[in-house]
Amino acid sequence: MSEMLRTEALSKHFGGLAAVSDVDLVVNRGEIHCLIGPNGAGKSTLFKLIVGMHVPSTGRIEFEGHDVTGERPYQRVKRGMSMKMQAPSVFRELPVRQNVHIALQHHVPRALLGEEEDRLLELLELTADQGKAAGELSHGQQQWLEIGMALALKPTLMLMDEPTAGMTPDETFRTGELIQGFNAGGMTVVVVEHDMAFIRQIAKQVTVLHYGKVFARGPIGEIIRDPRVAEIYLGKTHD
């Protein structure tokens, strides 16, 4: 497996708090890599460092062999990253299809736009709701729409912070299938999550954060059997 993303001794301090501390993370091409850990462990902060929304206090980030540490988010997007943030930011007053259109318009030739919109709506199971205002969709559907808008960029690396937040168990499961589908199509995926059933469903590799540091890492099968991980993390979920 070849390496796609690497962080080296990456840290982010907020005043005296080390939200992310000395993190070495490697994501290989083709992985579904989950970042897990208790609330406040530094997952979202690490995510924001990777996508360029935070400037690191120390350390570096390499993506596809380039040092991207000093790059802006849009520059990382150009290199193939796409990100789904924690809170959906769809255009609520606009129809679902219009949202998809806006996301796709700069990435697809005009002649193919309609076709590509149909394909994406179908994939997101939103074909029947395409005329509704996005704000009228269920919370889960809004998350899917947002995922679809991130997909429109045709990323090689998709980064998602809690994609199943606010979803029903059924919606969560379908989101897992959707993510596995992108992955089967060749996309590398990094997911920040705390829903253990979901992590079991999709994860190949897992990195566990605790107090901003890497606490454990390995294939999902090893992580769920690690009693140290259970103690800090699994024991605190409703799994």
CB closer to ligand ADP, 108 vs 159? 159
Q: What are phi and psi of 76, to 5 degrees?
A: -70, -35
CA distances from 174 to 38, 52, 72, 234 (A): 24, 29, 32, 23
Closer residue to Mg ion in complex, CB, 7/44:
44
DSSP string, 200-222: HHH-SEEEEEETTEEEEEEEHHH
Taking the complex as a whole, the smallest distance from the CB of residue 33 to ligand ADP amounts, in Å, to 15
By beta-carbon proximity to Mg ion, the closer residue of 75 and 89 is 89
Q: Which long-range contacts (CB under 8 A, 24 or more apart) does 20-27 make?
A: 20/45, 20/46, 20/49, 20/56, 20/209, 20/212, 21/211, 21/212, 21/213, 22/59, 22/213, 23/59, 23/209, 23/212, 23/213, 23/214, 24/214, 25/207, 25/214, 27/3, 27/157, 27/188, 27/190, 27/205
Q: Supply the minimum distance, in Å, between the C-beta of residue 107 and ligand ADP.
A: 29
For ligand ADP, the closer CB: 44 or 141: 44
Q: Which does 101 bind (CB under 5 to 8 A by kind): Mg ion, ligand ADP, none?
A: none
By beta-carbon proximity to Mg ion, the closer residue of 12 and 101 is 12
* Residue that is written with structure tokens 């995926």 in the block: 189
Residue 42 site contact among Mg ion, ligand ADP, none (CB < 5 to 8 Å, cut-off depends on kind): ligand ADP
Select from Mg ion, ligand ADP, none the partner in contact with residue 61, using the beta carbon and a kind-dependent cut-off of 5 to 8 Å. Answer: none
Contacts with Mg ion by CB under 5 A lie at: 43-44
Minimum distance from CB of 44 to Mg ion (Å)? 3
Shortest Cβ 161–Mg ion spacing (Å): 6
Shortest distance, position 162 Cβ to Mg ion, whole Å:
6
User: Site residues (CB under 6 A) for ligand ADP?
Assistant: 14, 17, 19, 37, 39-45
Nearer to ligand ADP by Cβ, of 44 and 82: the residue is: 44
Residue 165 C-beta: closest distance to Mg ion, Å: 9
User: Could you tell which of ligand ADP, Mg ion, none binds residue 177, using a CB distance below 5 to 8 A set by kind?
Assistant: none
Q: How many CB atoms lie within 10 A of CB 74?
A: 9
